[in-house]
Amino acid sequence: MTTISLLPIGWLGSPIAPLLATTGEAEADSSLVLAGVLLSLVVVYFASKLFGELCVRINLPPVLGDLIGGVIVGVSAFNLLVFPEGGVTADSSVIMTFLQSTAHLSAESLAATFSAQSEVISVLSELGVIILLFEIGLESELEELIKYGPQAAVVAVVGVVLPFALGTVGLMTFFDVPAIPSIFAGAALTATSIGITAKVLAEIGKLSSKEGQIIVGAAVLDDVLGIIVLAVVASLVKTGEVEVTNILYLSISAAAFLVGTIILGRLLNPYFVSLVRSFKTRGPLLISALVVTFVLSYVASAIQLEGILGAFAAGLILGENELQRDLEEQVVPIADMLVPVFFVVVGARTDISVLNPFEPSNREGLIIAAFLIVVAIIGKVATSLTIFQPGINRLAIGVGMIPRGEVGLVFAGVGAASGVLSESLDAAIIAMVIVTTFIAPPWLRSVLEKGDATEKAEETA
């Protein structure tokens, strides 16, 4: 069996060669890995632009076009962009098949090349979401987030507790699902994809609005709570008991990281500005900001949090200095290059065949999925009832928390790997993730636009 690991990128020899370290008989061909990555990026950008433009022309968010484009080029349709998960092999990849026709690789070498190429695209996807959250942090106002922090905390807690309770109890009561699988499925309902919602808010110029700040703040807290819930459920699956020390560690480390980063960032911001202005080489502001972002993302990952939390915190603190506008302008091209990779990959990994009712094995899963979808929507929309501040579009808050996106897929992946989920329940969770991810962007946009129209009409009257 061939094992492939990622090593730090070097620049001696082939630019992709240092990424590849193999053990066993087969070895990935570095030039073909590079070729596969380049072809994959062509597919990503073509799908993003084509379907993004189509969505814009019918008044839908461009991010929805990225997701749809990913589904079209991914495992659900043309197999142009596929990944070695769920039994997918190199023979299923159109790009790998094309490369095989020109290079005549052995089956083992082709598999190794496919695995390495997929790893590189996955890394670029993760970089994309890190840059996206950094950009969102830059555009967010720390004072506003602090102002609406208590409200965002209430929304986040209710948005985690309510769907978790409804999903777990409902599965045990109505479908006779055992306790641990029910708890795991209930945990999958707690997730919120901050990347998808924040992208929609940014596209329609609502990221800095009251609604946008509450949604972003709640989604960040929701992400932290989701990590804790996932850790708790994973330990329950593994050992049959909840490790209280792990819960306390994650809770304390998350709070200390976010608060400590913001306080330290405010103290060091003047020195950051002075350092950037002292540089004489090209791109001092952007490079320095990326260094801060990657360091904080690493620290967040090292303490078992999500790297995107570190990126968001970096954007928040660097958005507090006088170079904010310049930095926002400079990060846009980087975001335009990497962020579409993230969203298209999310779509490409999504197998919508689980929604096919004509497949007998899917029917049980679809029935459970219908229940999970209802709970997933109600559990998040109900958070709008907790809004106690006046002048806020309450429904927009609830709708903004609906998409599960890549976070929900992580829960499904962990559940499938642990063996705790049956095929029907795993399919149901994936179906719930698909539906909530795709309905939320146009719904959120519609709710916000109607709210603006109503507000203008009231002002006119």
Q: Where are the domains of the chain?
A: 3-123, 127-342+349-449
Provide, rounded to the nearest whole percent, the portion of the chain with pLDDT above 70. 90
pLDDT value at residue 458: 74
Question: Rounded CA gap, 295 and 241, in Å?
Answer: 34
H-run or E-run covering 30: helix 30-57
Instruction: Reduce the DSSP state of residue 438 to 3 states and report it.
Output: helix
pLDDT value at residue 1: 34
Q: Which residues, 6 or more positions from 36, have their beta carbon under 8 angstroms from its beta carbon?
A: 95, 96, 99, 113, 114, 117
pLDDT value at residue 77: 92
Tokens representing 221 are: 């807290």
CATH class of 127-342+349-449: mainly alpha
Q: First CA to last CA across the chain, in angstroms?
A: 72
H-run or E-run covering 23: strand 21-23
Question: Rounded CA gap, 322 and 25, in Å?
Answer: 56
The angle that helices 107-139 and 94-103 make with each other, rounded to 10 degrees, is 140
Question: Rounded CA gap, 252 and 324, in Å?
Answer: 30
The DSSP bridge pattern shows strands 21-23 and 3-5 to be: antiparallel
Residues of the chain with pLDDT under 70: 1-26, 86, 237-242, 406, 409-410, 413-414, 416-417
246-282: b (≥16 Cβ within 10 Å) or e = eeeebeebbeebbeebbeebeeebeebbeebeeeeee
Burial-class residue 357 by CB neighbours within 10 Å (0-12, 13-18, 19+): exposed
φ, ψ at 3 (rounded to 5°): -115, 130
